[in-house]
Amino acid sequence: MTTTSIPASRSTPRARAAIIGASGYTGVELMRLCAQHPHLDLVYATGDTQAGTRAAALYPSLSAAYPDLVFEAFDPDRVDGVDVVFLGLPHEASMALVPQLTGRVGTIVDLSAAYRLKDASLYPTWYGFEHDQPDSLATAVYGLPELDRSALSGASLVATPGCHVTAATLALEPLVAAGLIDRHGIVVDSKTGISGAGRALKHGSLYCSADENLEAYGLLDHRHTPEIEQAISGDGPSCRVLFTPHLAPLNRAILATCYATPAAGAALSTEVLLDAIRARYAGEPFVVVGAASPSTKAVLGTNTSMLTARYDERTGTVLAICAIDNLCKGASGGAVQAANVALGFDETAGLQRVGMYP
């Protein structure tokens, strides 16, 4: 398989990368990011349903970087010795594959939810399958560097967060950690672009269904709910979240609008909230905190997260908002960011911080 990557100097450290499940939307986004990455050489890309298809034929956007790359069927022997393997597979498929890859590759970065939840008993309720690898759940590192960067260094198994979860967590975790909001009664109202549903043909993502339409889904039982609760709770008591996602007629987007009540005794104002978020993310390369209301267009194609917060004295309500690109920071970009930390590269390598506008 012939691959093309951006030239690098002879002194630039290199790592061999593979993408298992490269023909889906998160896979093609990973390929885009690898093509501009100064340290990653993509040596293997699978897409079992598209095996034998030129990547550039399915995705012409890849033509300049990968003119001759052909999606292959998965062969475990092809990943031996690879430095990082990205898994863009369904949850149960990832869970079945990880034990086969462990010990054969350097770092596994899983974009499914197979290793996100620490409590194996939650999987039957929220995902509909039994998790048979509690030890791997315990050792998998949650792939949101803004939460715990030190744990990612040298990690062998990384669980990339969900897209809605990334936005909601970035907005809420600083306020929970600072003791500013009550841990119960948190509401997350999140809008997502249609690419979040994947490339497979579904009635809800057909043009005639999605165009000029805004629709809530996953009412009361969306599978990201326990992940949001786990991520924002930290080491303290469990949070309780009512999460409602909405499908918007956009290609790429997450806009999470989060509501909470003040913690007992907390003296709040908008500046107090903004100061807490700014302090939490001071020096973070992919987080922008400001007074302006975030927009999804501003983060299009980037790994950047834009945040703001308000305190409404009239109703006694805390409001926190986060905008991200669901395929980049919410999936593939977040996975590359976590891989950079795990492999010891510059965390920003291969990732954009400035959006495409207009």
β-strands 305-312, 287-289 pairing? parallel
Rounded (to 5) percent helix, strand, coil in the chain: 35, 20, 45
Beta bridge partners of 187: 242, 259
Nearby residues of 138 by Cβ (< 8 Å), 6 or more positions away:
118
What type of residue is 51? A
Is 163 part of the annotated catalytic residue set? yes
**Strand ranges inside 126-192, DSSP E:** 141-142, 157-159, 186-192
Nearby residues of 142 by Cβ (< 8 Å), 6 or more positions away:
116, 148, 151, 158, 159, 161, 231
What type of residue is 270? T
What type of residue is 354? V
Please tell me the distance from the alpha carbon of residue 167 to that of residue 163, in angstroms, as a whole number: 7
Catalytic residue among 34, 163, 239, 328, which?
Answer: 163
Q: Which residues are catalytic?
A: 163
